[in-house]
Copies of this chain bind each other. A is one copy, B any other.
C-alpha cells in the first residue's frame, strides 16, 4: 500500500512540476516557446512522460489556465472587498482584471483566448472559473438597474473588459489611454447617482 501511495504522490508531484514549468515558461517567453520538447527538457524527463499525465499539450494548457484563473479570482476578490462604495467596487474589480491581463499576459491568454477544451458557461466548468465570474457578479450586483438580468449584465461588463484587454494587447488599441477607456466603460455601467 505504502509503495503505491508513494508512487502516486510522486506522480502527482511530477504533474504539478509539469504545470508550473509550463506556466513559468509561458510567462517568461510566451506560449510559442512552450513546446513539448522544451517542456520535457525543463522537467528533465522525455516527451512521452507528458502524455502519461495529460492527453496532450492542450490539456496542459488547460491545467495552467485553471490554476491561473484561481489567482485572478483571488486578486479580484481582494480588490472588491477593499473597496468602499458599489461604484468603487466595480472599478476596483475592473482594474484588477485588466491589471492581471497586462501583468501576466501569457496566463490571461491561456484562460481567455487560447485553450478552448475547457467547459465554460456550464455547471461542469472548473470552480476557479466560476469563482472568477462570481467575483465579477458580486461587483455588478449592486449597480444593476431594476429589471436587468444581473447574470447577463455581468457577462456584458466582462466582455467590455475582455475587449479592452485583448484589443490593447494585440496592438489594436494604444496602450496609454487604457485607464481612460476603462473609466469610460465603468462610468457607463454605473447608473448616475449611485454612490
Contacts and interface: CB of A to CB of B under 8 A. Distances in A.
Interface residues of A, number: 32
Contacts of A156: 160, 164, 181, 184-185, 188
A51 interface: no
A185 to B, nearest CB: 5
A86 to B, nearest CB: 15
Interface string A146-173: 0011001101101111111011001111
Q: Interface on chain A toward B: helix, strand, loop, or mixed SS?
A: helix
21 contacts: A112-B167, A113-B113, A113-B166, A113-B170, A116-B170, A120-B172, A121-B174, A148-B184, A149-B180, A152-B180, A152-B181, A153-B184, A156-B160, A156-B181, A156-B185, A159-B167, A159-B185, A160-B160, A161-B163, A162-B167, A163-B164
A59 B152 CA distance: 38
A100 interface: no
A1 interface: no
A177 interface: yes
A189 interface: yes
Q: Which of A158, A164, A166, A181 has the most CB of B within 10 A?
A: A181
Contacts of A174: 121
Interface in A49-100: none
Given A121-B174, A156-B188, A188-B189, 18 more contacts: A112-B167, A112-B172, A113-B170, A120-B172, A121-B171, A149-B180, A155-B167, A156-B160, A156-B164, A156-B184, A159-B163, A159-B164, A159-B167, A159-B185, A160-B160, A162-B166, A162-B167, A163-B166
Interface in A105-155: 112-113, 116, 120-121, 148-149, 152-153, 155
Q: Which of A116, A159, A174 has the most CB of B within 10 A?
A: A159
